[in-house]
């Protein structure tokens, strides 16, 4: 890889405009691999490079792949209208990097949300052709019945869909709890399917995408982490 000037590297990592990045460097607020650098024209190979900005380490990443434990009452839109956006839960650098959610969760839905600034990755993970299974825990307003489970598995007809939508799996976990696996990722799909099947979803949580579980990440609500290659590989359907 060709070398890049330090101001360009900082800008690519989301630390602000070129002008602001140059000021950071000239003020002595930036170190590269442990050594302070005060010239924005200094060039570096980005492979294995570790930045320290305001005493916080930031390994260079060409793209970022993030898992967020989304709390309730946060919107996935970059321009939220009624609740704070999920980007407010991340460092400001990610807004500069134009990180965005991979798909969306409703504002009142909790659980795993993937985020990235890698366009092809976002497109691939969002495509219904990938058939990436997603696991949800749904709390129902009315008690779960065997008929409801059978209906979800056989297929539920929604008004704007040409054919019934089926759950890959639907298992009762409690009197008012279902574990549902879907592959399609349609708009408000779990809630709409339950409503069409004669019940109502009062709470929804996403615990797994592909083979990657939220539990394995050890996150609390509102926390996030970078995903490594092994974790990204779990997102690919077998």
Q: Which residues are catalytic?
A: 106
How many other CB atoms sit within 10 Å of the CB of residue 12?
Answer: 16
**Coil, helix or strand for 43?**
strand
SS3 58: strand
Give the CA distances from residue 221 to residues 89, 186, 194, 218, 228, in Å, rounded to whole numbers and listed in that order: 10, 24, 25, 10, 20
Which residues are paired to 17 by β-bridges? none
Question: How many helical (H) and strand (E) elements, i.e. helices and strands, does the chain have?
Answer: 8, 15
Q: Half-sphere exposure of residue 160, counting CA atoms within 13 Å on the CB side?
A: 5
Comparing CA positions, the residue from 226, 183, 180, 182 lying closest to residue 203 is 180
Euclidean distance between CA atoms 188 and 133, whole angstroms = 16
């Amino acid at each position: 890889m060709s070398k890049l000037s330090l101001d360009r590297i900082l800008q690519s990592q989301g630390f602000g405009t070129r002008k602001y990045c140059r000021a950071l460097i000239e003020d002595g607020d930036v170190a590269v691999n442990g050594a302070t650098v005060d010239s924005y024209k200094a060039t570096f190979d980005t492979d294995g490079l570790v930045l320290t900005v305001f005493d916080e380490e930031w390994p260079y990443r060409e793209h970022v792949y993030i898992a967020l434990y989304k709390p309730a009452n946060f919107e996935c839109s970059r321009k939220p209208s009624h609740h704070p956006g999920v980007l407010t839960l991340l460092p400001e650098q990610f807004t500069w990097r134009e990180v965005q959610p991979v798909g969306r969760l409703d504002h009142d839905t909790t659980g795993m949300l993937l985020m990235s600034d890698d366009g092809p990755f976002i497109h691939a993970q969002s495509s219904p052709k990938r058939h990436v299974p997603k696991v949800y825990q749904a709390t129902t307003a009315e008690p779960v019945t065997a008929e409801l489970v059978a209906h979800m598995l056989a297929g539920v007809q929604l008004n704007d869909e040409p054919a019934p939508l089926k759950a890959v799996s639907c298992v009762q976990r409690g009197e008012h709890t279902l574990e549902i696996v879907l592959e399609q990722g349609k708009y408000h799909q779990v809630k709409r399917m339950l409503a069409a099947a004669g019940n109502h979803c009062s709470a929804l949580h996403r615990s797994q995408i592909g083979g990657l579980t939220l539990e394995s990440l050890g996150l609390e609500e509102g926390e996030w982490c970078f995903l490594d290659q092994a974790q990204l590989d779990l997102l690919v359907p077998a």
